[in-house]
Chains A and B, each alone.
Chain A
C-alpha cells in the first residue's frame, strides 16, 4: 500500500442539504449554489436540494437569456438526476405565493409544505444556504 492510501474504513456518509433562496441572474447566488451541489454530488454523499422563497424562480421553464448576454443555466438542473441527486424539494408556500405550480418547473420535484420541509431540514448533518 502506498503511503497516501488509507486503509478502507467504514464509509462516512453525511446528509448535506443545499437551500436555494435567490432568483437566477439578478445575483450570482443561484448559479454558484448549483455548481457547489454538482461538485458535492461527486463525493457520494447524501445530498438534497431545496428551493424556497425566490429560489423557486430558478426552476421556471422557458428561460431564454439571449437578450441579457448571460449563460442560461436552468437546463443544468436536469443534470442533477445524472449525479444521482434525487431529493429535490420545493416549498409549496413559496411556489404558490409566486403564482407557480409544479408544471411550470423545468425538472420533476417534490413539492412539500413548510411543516414537512422543517422536518426534513432538521434531519441534516450540514445545511448550506444561499
Chain B
C-alpha cells in the first residue's frame, strides 16, 4: 500500500475539498494544508472538529508562509498540527509515494 500525501489548497468555507479528503484519506496518510487551505488549520475554524476527529490516524501539516501571509500567526492552530516551511513541503513530497492535489 502506498503512502499518500494529500494537498488541500482551498478554503473549507468555500469548497468541499477538505471534507472529501477527510472522508477518503486512508489511515496512515498525510494531509498538507496550503494556500487558502490553511484556514482549516485554525482551532476556531468551522471544520476543526472534523479535522481533529481524524488526527489519530492521519498526520496533518500546514505551510507556515501561507499562515503568515494571511495574518494568522497569532491565531491558535488545532492541537497536533505540524507547521512546515517550503523545505518541509519538499521533504513531505519525498517521504510519500504519491501526492494527490484536491482541486
Contacts and interface: CB of A to CB of B under 8 A. Distances in A.
Interface of A: 22-27, 53-54, 57, 60-68, 70, 72, 74, 97-99
Contacts of A23: 11, 14, 36, 39, 70
B13 A25 contact: no
Helix, strand, loop or mixed for chain A's interface? loop
B9 A64 contact: no
Contacts of A25: 35-36, 66, 69-70
Contact of A97 (B9, B13, B75): B13
A67 B64 contact: yes
Given A25-B66, A27-B36, A54-B14, 14 more contacts: A23-B14, A26-B10, A54-B13, A60-B70, A60-B72, A63-B71, A64-B73, A65-B69, A66-B68, A67-B69, A67-B85, A68-B65, A68-B66, A98-B45
A23 B44 CA distance: 17
Interface residues of B, number: 24
Q: Which of A25, A26, A61, A97 has the most CB of B within 10 A?
A: A26
A24 B46 CA distance: 19
A72 B70 CA distance: 9
14 contacts: A23-B11, A23-B39, A23-B70, A53-B14, A54-B14, A62-B72, A62-B73, A64-B68, A64-B71, A64-B73, A65-B68, A67-B66, A70-B69, A99-B75
Contact of A60 (B64, B65, B71): B71
B89 to A, nearest CB: 12
Contacts of B66: 25, 67-68
B58 interface: no
A60 to B, nearest CB: 4
